[in-house]
Every structure is written in C-alpha cells, then in structure tokens.
A and B are shown apart, each in its own frame.
Chain A
Amino acid sequence: MAAVAVAVTPEAGVLLRARGVQLGYWTPGGFTLAVADATFSVAPREKVIVIGPSGCGKSTLLKAVAGFIHPIAGEIIVAGRSTLAPGPDRSVVFQEFDQLFPWRTVLDNVAYPLRVNGWKRGAARDRAREFVELTSLSHAGDRYPHELSGGMKQRVAIARALALDPAMLLMDEPFGSLDMLTRARLQQELNGIIDRTNTTLLLVTHSMDEALTVGDRVVVLAGAPSRVVEVVDVRDVGEPDTPHYAEARLHLRSLLGVRHDREADDGHGH
C-alpha cells in the first residue's frame, strides 16, 4: 500500500522535482508503460502546465504527483518529501463535475475538508466563505451541488482546493467538460485567483490555448510511451491575438506532432 514518505533535503527554489519518472499500469494483457521518462521541476508560485495528446499519460503523471499511484522508476519530490500518499498539501481539482459531495452545501463542501484537517468549526466556516467569495459564488453558498451549473461546480472545487492552503494546486483537465465560453471565462478567473493567493499550480490539459493563457512554463509530453520533449517558457506570450502568441502556439503544435488543422481543444466539449 502507501509507502512511507521519505524526507530528503529540500531544494532551494524548487517545490516539485520529477526525475526520470516512469509510470505504467497492469492490464489483462500485461504491463503497459504510459510514461517512459518525465523530468521537470516546478518552482514556488510558478504555474506549470503539462500538455500532451490524449492518452499520453499526463493525467497519470498528475495522479502520481498527487500520490494516488507510485512511479515504477524515478522519483517525485515535493517540498523535500518523496514517495507520497494523497494529502491536502497537494489538493486536486478533477475533471469530473461530480467531485463535490452531493449531500453538502457549497459552503460545507469547502468547509468540511478544513474541519477534517483540524480547523475549528467557526474558523473553517469563515475561511470557506472567503474562498467562496473569491470564486464568485457567494450567492450560491447554501445551494446543493445538483443545483449548480458545470462551471459553478468547478469553481466550488477550486475554492475547496485552495482553501486548504496547499503547497501545490493540482488540476486535471478541470475545464475539459465545459463549453468554450465558460472555459475561457474560468481560465481568466483562475489566473486572477492564483495570482491573488500566490498558489503554485500544476495543471494538465490538452488545450494549447489553455496552456498559453494560464501557464508560466509548459511541459510538453509526447510519444508513446511518452517523455518530456521540451519545457517551453511562455511567461511573456501576451494576448491571443499577438504574433508572439501565435509563434508560441505553432511551436507547441510542432512539438505535439499534431497533423490536422483542427485540434482536440476546438470547443467540442467532452
């Protein structure tokens, strides 16, 4: 089961270091390697995007960072600890809308994890209100998840994840199930929220636009089994209608080996 977290000397200026990570899974046919070699790092308060075509193992990589699975080779060190179990220091926002507890209100979905981690009822409630407001959901605090739209549900998930004050926020294609308009809006909101909370972000997506809009650096996974082909700095890419943006996008496209003009992230929802 979960191995014990091993303490390693934390590196200055590095929150997450992945070195030679290999990930795979068992099927009836045998063992399949999904990720052959993932090596990259994330600095504190950085926003790193992992991008790759469908099935390249990027979600698997995120799960490994989160602690749900363990690499068969290589190491993942977060804040000086390796071999990790899931925990609130790396809180996750999943792709599915139904990641909220249906029997709790919006406010309680954010407050409950705090209580679980030692916060007193009153303080948890106050902090929950804070983050619910941060994600523009104050008017919906007493509603139940089934009364919310997809976009609102993802906002709640973000509020919950951030309220825990994680060392790193992990997001697994969080906007993949939303329509293009909502997705664009939430990407902007996410940027604002992350900047205000000074959170370190590791986000997985297959959308190049998302990578360019949200990210500081983009880790490109390609190949089968996949490996990190390049880490692109996109800090100064600018708005989508600038030439610098288009250039970066083209570069990403070539790295991803996309052959057609239409890409998977052209707003077909899920």
Chain B
Amino acid sequence: MLLAIFVGAWAAYAAWSEFGQNDLLFASPLETAQAFWDGWRDGSLADATWQSLRILLLGVGIGASIAVLFTVVATLTKVGEDALSLLTAIMNPLPGVAMLPLAMLWFGLSTKAVLFTLANATIWPIAINLTSGFKTANPTILAVGRNIGLSSVRLVSDVLAPAALPNAITGLKTAWAFGWRTLIAAELVFGVVGGEGGLGNYINNAKLYLFTPQMFAALVTIALLGVVFEYGFTLLERRTIVKWGMQRS
C-alpha cells in the first residue's frame, strides 16, 4: 500500500514537474521499469550484478577469514588481544572507501585494490563482534566442554564457536552491509574493476551516455538486492540462533 503511494508520487513528479519531465535527469517509474526489464533480459544488469556480488563474496570471505584468525590469536594470547584492540580502535571508524586511494597506490588499478579495500571494511566489524562473542561465551558450557574431555582445539571449534554464533552473524551482517556499500562506491570511483564492471560501473556508464532510466534501474536493483540480503540473513538466523533460542535482542 505504502509502496503504491510512493510509486504514484514518483510518477506524478515525473509527469508534472519541470525537473521530472527532463528525460535526461529523471526517469519515471514506467521508464525505469522498462529499463529494468530490458537490462535483465539482455543480461547486462545480470552480468553487472553477478560481477559485483562475486567480488563482494570474495572480499567478505577474505575479510572474515582474517578476522577469525585475528580473533583466535587475540583469544589465545595477551599480546594478540592488545594488538587487536588497538588495531580495531584505529581502523574501525575509517569508512571503507577511504582506503581505496591508498589501495590504488599500493596495488595499482586492479581487482586487488578493491579486494584490499573490501577486506578492510569487513575485518573490523567481524573481529569486534567475534571477540565479544568469545568473551561473553557462557563459562559454564566451557567448563562442561573441558569436563567431557575436549581438547583445546575442539573446545574452540565445538563450543566457543557455536556459542559465539549470534555475535558472528551480527558481525557478518554488518560486514556485508559495509562491504556492499564500499564496493559500489569503489566501483563508481574506480571505473572498471578487473575487466568487467559491476553495478557501480553500470551506473557510471549509464551516466556517461545519459541513460537515466538505466541509472534508476540500477538503483532499484541495488535496493532489491539489499532486501534479498536482509532476507537471506533472516533465514540464516531462523535456522540457527532462533531455532536454538540463542537470539539476543
């Protein structure tokens, strides 16, 4: 219902306002829908989406792995804990995109630069949440773990890790959101990323050729993807921490 009103207002603005009528500046819902449909049909939006997602998955994967490594080291050693604390305090407030120019300087104009930026945007939220998850793990079940004879390694993998799952998921959600934003921004700034462009590049290209409906369509795609991600995480939570009654509010 709310959506219908919004689309109605959009169409009205496109039809009746001077700004809205300017085809090169503004696209009506109908034009956007047409561009959206065309874009998916001829594969260009699909390619761009997949390209962006591919890099996002890779970047978040790298970031998550590093974060887990850091966290485990921090949990096991005092030095590690202090070092992680310090690093996190410095790096976490930095917006992901801020690292891009530096990354471009170090890695040149390649996918590596984008992956570096993405990894940086994702490591810290995950590390913070995971550390907190480990720290606040129920000490009783840790004692149970030791009691039943688990080795240190299995204690971490079989008890600590699942206990920290709610925090891990929160960290992952945050990292994913940061990563997505950082990636699109990087693509916009960066131009072509590694050969074919993602959604950011799609938008940029549409802008160059003044294909405004395509720009709008890409934005709609990004928004829809956001909803899909949200739903995906909810599903994940439902199958795990909700089922196990471990969800924290």
Seen from chain A, the residues whose Cβ lies within 8 Å of a Cβ on chain B are 66, 68, 86-88, 90-92, 94, 96, 98-103, 113, 116-117, 144-147, 164
* A86, B245: Cβ atoms closer than 8 Å: no
Q: List 22 A-B contacts (CB under 8 A).
A: A66-B147, A68-B143, A86-B146, A87-B149, A88-B147, A88-B148, A91-B148, A92-B144, A92-B147, A98-B140, A98-B141, A101-B141, A101-B144, A101-B159, A103-B165, A103-B246, A117-B149, A144-B244, A145-B244, A145-B245, A146-B244, A146-B245
* B148, A116: Cβ atoms closer than 8 Å: yes
Q: Does B240 contact A (CB under 8 A)?
A: yes
Distance of A173 from chain B, by nearest CB (Å): 13
10 closest A-B pairs by CB: A146-B245, A113-B148, A86-B146, A102-B244, A103-B244, A96-B140, A99-B140, A88-B149, A103-B162, A86-B147
Q: Does B222 contact A (CB under 8 A)?
A: no
Distance of B163 from chain A, by nearest CB (Å): 8
B149 surroundings in chain A (CB, below 8 A): 86-88, 113, 116-117
Inter-chain CA distance A92–B148, complex, in Å, is 9
Interface readout for B106-121 with A: 1 if CB under 8 Å, 0 if not? Answer: 0000000000000000
Inter-chain CA distance A92–B140, complex, in Å, is 11
B243 surroundings in chain A (CB, below 8 A): 144
A66 surroundings in chain B (CB, below 8 A): 147
Inter-chain CA distance A98–B143, complex, in Å, is 11
* A102, B246: Cβ atoms closer than 8 Å: yes
Seen from chain B, the residues whose Cβ lies within 8 Å of a Cβ on chain A are 138, 140-141, 143-144, 146-150, 154, 159, 162, 165, 240, 243-246
Q: Using CB atoms, name the residue of chain A closest to B144.
A: A99
A86 surroundings in chain B (CB, below 8 A): 143, 146-147, 149
B240 surroundings in chain A (CB, below 8 A): 103
Inter-chain CA distance A94–B154, complex, in Å, is 21
* B143, A92: Cβ atoms closer than 8 Å: yes
Distance of A183 from chain B, by nearest CB (Å): 19
| Of B144, B159, B245, B246, most A-chain CB atoms within 10 Å | B144
A96 surroundings in chain B (CB, below 8 A): 140
* A102, B245: Cβ atoms closer than 8 Å: yes
Q: Using CB atoms, name the residue of chain A closest to B146.
A: A86
Inter-chain CA distance A7–B240, complex, in Å, is 45
Q: Find B143's partner among A94, A100, A102, A117 (CB 8 Å cutoff).
A: A94
Inter-chain CA distance A101–B150, complex, in Å, is 14
Inter-chain CA distance A91–B30, complex, in Å, is 69
Knowing A99-B141, A102-B244, A144-B245 are in contact, say whether A164-B148 is a contact too (CB < 8 A): yes
A92 surroundings in chain B (CB, below 8 A): 143-144, 147
Q: Find A116's partner among B150, B165, B244 (CB 8 Å cutoff).
A: B150
| Of B147, B240, B246, most A-chain CB atoms within 10 Å | B147
Q: Find A87's partner among B138, B147, B159 (CB 8 Å cutoff).
A: B147
Q: Using CB atoms, name the residue of chain A closest to B162.
A: A103
Q: Find B138's partner among A98, A113, A116, A147 (CB 8 Å cutoff).
A: A98
Distance of A270 from chain B, by nearest CB (Å): 14
A98 surroundings in chain B (CB, below 8 A): 138, 140-141
B138 surroundings in chain A (CB, below 8 A): 98
Inter-chain CA distance A96–B245, complex, in Å, is 17
Distance of A58 from chain B, by nearest CB (Å): 17
| Of A103, A145, A147, most B-chain CB atoms within 10 Å | A103
Q: Can you name 20 extra interface pairs (CB under 8 A) apart from A98-B141, A113-B149, A144-B245? A: A68-B146, A86-B146, A86-B147, A88-B148, A88-B149, A90-B147, A94-B144, A98-B138, A99-B143, A99-B144, A102-B245, A103-B162, A113-B148, A116-B149, A117-B149, A144-B243, A145-B244, A145-B245, A146-B244, A164-B148
Distance of B124 from chain A, by nearest CB (Å): 26
Inter-chain CA distance A61–B147, complex, in Å, is 16
Q: Using CB atoms, name the residue of chain B closest to A146.
A: B245
Q: Using CB atoms, name the residue of chain B closest to A101.
A: B141
